[in-house]
Amino acid sequence: MLKNNQAYLVAPPQGFTLLEVMISSVILTVSLLGIAGMYGFASKFSYEARQHTQAVYIANDMMERLRMSKIAWLKSVLLNEDSSYQLNINNQSTTVLFPECNKKQNCRYNDLILHDVTDWQQHLASAFPSSSASICLSLKRRETESAIDADLTVNWIINNADKSAMTPVLNVECGQNETGRRQYMMQMQL
Protein backbone atom coordinates (compact mmCIF):
# COMPACT_ATOMS: atom_id res chain seq x y z
CA MET A 1 0.00 0.00 0.00
CA LEU A 2 1.00 3.50 -0.68
CA LYS A 3 0.95 6.23 1.78
CA ASN A 4 -0.71 9.53 0.94
CA ASN A 5 2.48 11.56 0.72
CA GLN A 6 4.33 9.33 -1.78
CA ALA A 7 4.32 10.34 -5.44
CA TYR A 8 3.91 7.93 -8.24
CA LEU A 9 6.81 7.75 -10.71
CA VAL A 10 5.53 8.32 -14.23
CA ALA A 11 7.67 7.38 -17.24
CA PRO A 12 8.22 10.18 -19.81
CA PRO A 13 6.14 9.81 -22.99
CA GLN A 14 7.82 7.92 -25.90
CA GLY A 15 7.77 9.22 -29.55
CA PHE A 16 7.22 12.62 -31.19
CA THR A 17 4.34 15.00 -30.90
CA LEU A 18 2.33 16.04 -33.94
CA LEU A 19 3.82 19.55 -33.85
CA GLU A 20 7.39 18.22 -33.98
CA VAL A 21 6.57 16.01 -36.97
CA MET A 22 4.97 18.90 -38.89
CA ILE A 23 7.91 21.25 -38.26
CA SER A 24 10.44 18.64 -39.40
CA SER A 25 8.41 17.89 -42.56
CA VAL A 26 8.31 21.63 -43.44
CA ILE A 27 12.10 21.91 -42.98
CA LEU A 28 12.65 18.81 -45.14
CA THR A 29 10.33 20.12 -47.89
CA VAL A 30 12.04 23.52 -48.06
CA SER A 31 15.51 21.95 -48.27
CA LEU A 32 14.42 19.50 -51.01
CA LEU A 33 12.90 22.36 -53.05
CA GLY A 34 16.21 24.23 -52.81
CA ILE A 35 18.10 21.20 -54.06
CA ALA A 36 15.66 20.77 -56.97
CA GLY A 37 16.15 24.42 -57.95
CA MET A 38 19.92 24.00 -57.92
CA TYR A 39 19.56 20.98 -60.21
CA GLY A 40 17.74 23.12 -62.78
CA PHE A 41 20.51 25.74 -62.77
CA ALA A 42 23.19 23.07 -63.02
CA SER A 43 21.58 21.40 -66.02
CA LYS A 44 21.16 24.76 -67.80
CA PHE A 45 24.79 25.75 -67.25
CA SER A 46 26.12 22.33 -68.26
CA TYR A 47 24.11 22.58 -71.51
CA GLU A 48 25.61 26.02 -72.22
CA ALA A 49 29.11 24.74 -71.38
CA ARG A 50 28.63 21.81 -73.76
CA GLN A 51 27.62 24.16 -76.58
CA HIS A 52 30.61 26.42 -75.88
CA THR A 53 32.91 23.39 -75.95
CA GLN A 54 31.45 22.35 -79.30
CA ALA A 55 32.06 25.85 -80.70
CA VAL A 56 35.68 25.83 -79.54
CA TYR A 57 36.21 22.37 -81.02
CA ILE A 58 34.74 23.42 -84.39
CA ALA A 59 36.87 26.58 -84.47
CA ASN A 60 40.07 24.68 -83.68
CA ASP A 61 39.25 22.02 -86.27
CA MET A 62 38.64 24.65 -88.93
CA MET A 63 41.88 26.49 -88.19
CA GLU A 64 43.88 23.26 -88.31
CA ARG A 65 42.32 22.30 -91.63
CA LEU A 66 43.00 25.77 -93.00
CA ARG A 67 46.62 25.43 -91.93
CA MET A 68 46.91 22.00 -93.59
CA SER A 69 45.27 23.13 -96.85
CA LYS A 70 46.84 26.58 -97.00
CA ILE A 71 48.32 25.97 -100.46
CA ALA A 72 44.90 24.99 -101.82
CA TRP A 73 43.36 28.20 -100.52
CA LEU A 74 46.22 30.29 -101.92
CA LYS A 75 46.13 28.65 -105.37
CA SER A 76 42.38 28.55 -105.89
CA VAL A 77 40.67 31.24 -103.80
CA LEU A 78 43.24 33.83 -102.73
CA LEU A 79 45.03 34.11 -106.07
CA ASN A 80 46.15 37.74 -106.01
CA GLU A 81 48.12 39.60 -103.40
CA ASP A 82 45.94 41.53 -100.98
CA SER A 83 42.85 39.48 -101.91
CA SER A 84 40.21 38.46 -99.41
CA TYR A 85 37.45 35.88 -99.11
CA GLN A 86 34.36 35.62 -96.88
CA LEU A 87 32.66 32.27 -96.15
CA ASN A 88 29.41 31.92 -94.19
CA ILE A 89 28.17 28.49 -93.11
CA ASN A 90 24.79 27.86 -91.48
CA ASN A 91 23.62 24.66 -89.79
CA GLN A 92 20.16 25.06 -91.35
CA SER A 93 21.35 25.10 -94.99
CA THR A 94 21.46 22.16 -97.34
CA THR A 95 24.47 19.89 -97.31
CA VAL A 96 26.81 19.88 -100.28
CA LEU A 97 27.92 16.47 -101.49
CA PHE A 98 31.53 15.42 -101.09
CA PRO A 99 33.61 15.53 -104.25
CA GLU A 100 34.58 12.30 -105.96
CA CYS A 101 38.18 12.31 -104.74
CA ASN A 102 39.61 11.95 -101.27
CA LYS A 103 42.74 13.46 -99.77
CA LYS A 104 44.90 10.42 -100.60
CA GLN A 105 44.43 10.97 -104.33
CA ASN A 106 45.60 13.90 -106.38
CA CYS A 107 42.57 16.12 -106.09
CA ARG A 108 42.17 19.55 -107.46
CA TYR A 109 42.48 22.36 -104.95
CA ASN A 110 38.81 23.27 -105.33
CA ASP A 111 37.82 19.70 -104.43
CA LEU A 112 39.90 19.82 -101.25
CA ILE A 113 38.31 23.11 -100.23
CA LEU A 114 34.82 21.81 -101.03
CA HIS A 115 35.55 18.71 -98.96
CA ASP A 116 36.59 20.82 -95.96
CA VAL A 117 33.62 23.21 -96.22
CA THR A 118 31.16 20.31 -96.48
CA ASP A 119 32.73 18.63 -93.49
CA TRP A 120 32.52 21.87 -91.44
CA GLN A 121 28.88 22.29 -92.37
CA GLN A 122 28.00 18.74 -91.33
CA HIS A 123 29.90 19.10 -88.07
CA LEU A 124 28.07 22.36 -87.30
CA ALA A 125 24.70 20.73 -87.99
CA SER A 126 25.49 17.76 -85.75
CA ALA A 127 26.92 19.91 -82.93
CA PHE A 128 23.91 22.28 -82.82
CA PRO A 129 20.91 20.23 -84.02
CA SER A 130 18.20 22.04 -82.07
CA SER A 131 19.38 25.64 -82.28
CA SER A 132 20.47 28.09 -84.91
CA ALA A 133 24.24 28.26 -85.46
CA SER A 134 26.54 29.80 -88.04
CA ILE A 135 30.21 30.20 -88.86
CA CYS A 136 31.78 33.24 -90.51
CA LEU A 137 35.26 32.83 -91.92
CA SER A 138 37.21 35.76 -93.29
CA LEU A 139 40.49 35.14 -95.09
CA LYS A 140 42.85 37.88 -96.23
CA ARG A 141 46.08 37.29 -98.08
CA ARG A 142 49.00 39.50 -97.17
CA GLU A 143 50.52 41.66 -99.88
CA THR A 144 54.16 40.66 -99.87
CA GLU A 145 54.15 37.15 -98.46
CA SER A 146 52.13 34.00 -98.83
CA ALA A 147 50.59 34.41 -95.40
CA ILE A 148 46.87 34.39 -94.69
CA ASP A 149 45.13 36.25 -91.87
CA ALA A 150 42.14 34.18 -90.77
CA ASP A 151 39.27 35.51 -88.63
CA LEU A 152 36.76 32.90 -87.53
CA THR A 153 33.52 33.49 -85.64
CA VAL A 154 31.18 30.75 -84.42
CA ASN A 155 27.68 31.91 -83.41
CA TRP A 156 24.93 29.91 -81.76
CA ILE A 157 21.62 30.61 -80.06
CA ILE A 158 20.81 29.33 -76.58
CA ASN A 159 17.20 28.17 -76.55
CA ASN A 160 14.96 29.61 -73.81
CA ALA A 161 17.57 32.19 -72.85
CA ASP A 162 16.75 34.83 -70.27
CA LYS A 163 16.27 38.22 -71.95
CA SER A 164 17.96 40.01 -69.06
CA ALA A 165 21.16 37.97 -69.46
CA MET A 166 22.24 39.31 -72.86
CA THR A 167 25.86 38.57 -73.75
CA PRO A 168 27.64 41.23 -75.80
CA VAL A 169 28.95 40.10 -79.16
CA LEU A 170 32.07 41.33 -80.89
CA ASN A 171 31.24 40.52 -84.51
CA VAL A 172 27.75 41.91 -85.15
CA GLU A 173 27.80 41.11 -88.89
CA CYS A 174 27.99 37.39 -88.28
CA GLY A 175 24.99 35.33 -87.17
CA GLN A 176 21.45 36.17 -86.13
CA ASN A 177 20.78 38.93 -83.64
CA GLU A 178 18.50 37.14 -81.18
CA THR A 179 18.14 36.74 -77.45
CA GLY A 180 20.53 34.09 -76.20
CA ARG A 181 23.15 34.66 -78.89
CA ARG A 182 26.61 33.39 -78.02
CA GLN A 183 29.81 33.92 -79.96
CA TYR A 184 33.32 32.47 -80.06
CA MET A 185 36.01 34.24 -82.08
CA MET A 186 39.46 33.12 -83.13
CA GLN A 187 42.14 34.87 -85.14
CA MET A 188 45.25 33.30 -86.59
CA GLN A 189 47.93 33.90 -89.16
CA LEU A 190 48.44 30.93 -91.45
Q: Is residue 116 a part of any domain in this protein?
A: yes
Q: Is residue 70 a part of any domain in this protein?
A: yes
Q: 153 with 115: CB under 8 angstroms?
A: no
- Helix or strand (DSSP H, E) at 47: helix 18-68
Q: Is residue 9 a part of any domain in this protein?
A: no
Structural domain harbouring 73:
18-189
pLDDT in tens, 104-128: 555 688 888 888 888 888 888 888 8
Q: Is residue 177 a part of any domain in this protein?
A: yes
Count up the domains in the chain and report the number: 1
Residue whose C-alpha is closest to residue 114's, from 102, 126, 127: 102
pLDDT in tens, 131-177: 888 889 989 988 777 888 899 999 888 876 665 555 666 666 776 67
pLDDT in tens, 18-73: 888 899 999 999 999 989 888 888 888 888 888 889 999 999 999 999 999 888 88
Q: Is residue 131 a part of any domain in this protein?
A: yes
Q: Is residue 8 a part of any domain in this protein?
A: no
pTM of the model: 0.72
